[in-house]
Chain A
Amino acid sequence: MNPNENNRIKRFTLTHRIFHLLLILSFLTLGTTGLSRMYIETSWGKMMAWVFGGYESCLIIHKYVGIFLICLFLAHILYLLYKIDWRQFPRSLFGPDSLLPQPRDIKNFFQHTLWFFGLSKAPRFDRWGYWEKFDYWAVFWGIPILGITGLLMAYSLLASRIIPGWGLNVALWIHRIEAILAMAHVFIIHFFIAHLRRHSFPMDLAMFEGSVDLAPARYEKHSWVARLEETGKLQGLFVPQVSISIRVLFYIFGYAAMCVGVFLLIGGLINSTSITW
């Protein structure tokens, strides 16, 4: 931890961080209420359901938080439409600041993989690494899939006017597998990259604090920092570090979220054979 105040550069705006925070809270609530219903036959599921007031109130909470997450997603779409540089429209989407996947990301993925085995030099990532883009698009695809199938089931009578009733059987399975995929991905891969690998350990504060230390950023996101230096934008991005008490708060929150995730992951795996699928 470098105490030098001039060493932090801004990476995420307050809007990004608020979106991420609301996403964490709603995602974990949805995961917990959803799994407590799915595992209601086991004592693990009953114990979780008890926290939310039982089997039926779990569903009520699940539905309203789900609708909230859909709203958050739509708000994000509006935010994107507002933020896209329309004057240089198609070109701005393929710039280095864009989250859109590009051929370079595939190249980076393979080069990074080769680097793991010492077969290549480390790739020089720009602002977004391919794993960050993957995380972003996983959520971007996951919320509509889960949201649409969830709405179909929540408003099942209405939905059966639009689709045949047996479509709800299909919706249930799509919702279920996509939710398992999303949770497993976040609780294993996302948490590992953000918390456990050596360069992030014990926790990557970037998404909470909004800023990163320059030296590691220069190492991990070399092209990004180099580009900022070339265009002279780097000087404008230095921000002061938050106070130690706020940092402690971030660590507590981050680890609480990770504990919930690991609890859901382990409990879900252990009890998976004793439920009716």
Chain B
Amino acid sequence: MVKNNPIRGASRWVAASMLAILLCLPEAASTQEEVASAIRRYKERELSTGYYEQYEAKPRHIAPLVGVPGVTRGIFPYSTSAAQVRTRTRLADSHWGIKFYKNLRCEYCHVRETRDIHTVRANLTCRQCHGGEPIASLEHYYSPFNPIRKHAYVCSKCHEDSSASFASYVVHPPNPALIGTMKTFPVLFYAFWIMIAITAGTFIIFLPHMVAWGIRELFNKKEKAEGEPKRK
């Protein structure tokens, strides 16, 4: 084995590989930062006052006599085929027909959607992404949330240069531990449980092992093993 100075050897490796990494990685650009309190970029894109929850557009007028199955029941309900395009996922006003809608707050119904990183950590309000009334259904053709333009109309308010792929990040993710997630987001479900299994396995084996070891050593002095030759 070649003799070498270990410090010089190690520091050379560290320096060379750090340099290589820094050269290969793109600069940590400010466009990739998470925007929590800084709303400057958001304001460049948003025309509203920014005073959400205080001055809001009223919800759309409800036609009293026309109903959508499962949504409202009027005297003249839509035909089945007409109703299909007017389900909640395709309406121009997704909250259309909800009673006392203008007196309700978003979290009255959407509880889970208030508990994720964007809302809790970045302190975004619903309106900052979903906009004022009427809030169109995700699949409505002109909705800013339609996947064909969500990245440009919604995500890029903060995450400049976001792509359609980037916009497929699930902002309100399901709880990965729940069995229902196996259907809605299987990769997340399995990744979560595999990682949990590794973690649990490690501790199930090594915690009792550690405790037993600790107790055993209390009864065992630091001494020579049995039958061991004495040091010359």
Contact with A along B193-224 (1 / 0, CB 8 A): 00110110011001101101111111010111
Contact A219 B161 (CB under 8 A): no
Contacts of B215 in A (CB 8 A): 116
In the assembled complex, A111 has its CB within 8 A of some CB on chain B: no
Contacts of B210 in A (CB 8 A): 188-189, 192-193
CA distance A122 to B217 in the complex (A): 11
Contact with B along A156-185 (1 / 0, CB 8 A): 111011011111111001100110110011
Contacts of B63 in A (CB 8 A): none
CA distance A181 to B20 in the complex (A): 30
Contact A13 B6 (CB under 8 A): yes
In the assembled complex, A63 has its CB within 8 A of some CB on chain B: yes
Contact B202 A169 (CB under 8 A): no
In the assembled complex, A107 has its CB within 8 A of some CB on chain B: no
B1 nearest CB neighbor, chain A only: A85
Contact with B along A217-251 (1 / 0, CB 8 A): 01100100000000000000000000000000000
Nearest Cβ in chain A — how far from B81, in angstroms?
32
Given A75-B13, A161-B163: A197 and B206 interface contact (C-beta under 8 Å)? no
Contact B203 A184 (CB under 8 A): yes
Contact A199 B195 (CB under 8 A): no
CA distance A61 to B32 in the complex (A): 15
Contact A75 B214 (CB under 8 A): no
Contact A177 B34 (CB under 8 A): no
Contact A173 B192 (CB under 8 A): yes
Contacts of A89 in B (CB 8 A): none
Contact A177 B37 (CB under 8 A): no
A71 nearest CB neighbor, chain B only: B18
In the assembled complex, B17 has its CB within 8 A of some CB on chain A: yes
In the assembled complex, B9 has its CB within 8 A of some CB on chain A: yes
Nearest Cβ in chain B — how far from A101, in angstroms?
14
Given A188-B210, A189-B207: A156 and B225 interface contact (C-beta under 8 Å)? no
Contacts of B105 in A (CB 8 A): none
Q: Report which B residues bind A (CB closer than 8 A).
A: 1, 6-7, 9-10, 13-14, 16-18, 20-22, 25-26, 28, 31-34, 36-37, 115-117, 120-121, 159, 161-163, 165-170, 173, 175-176, 185, 187-188, 191-192, 195-196, 198-199, 202-203, 206-207, 209-210, 212-218, 220, 222-226, 228, 231
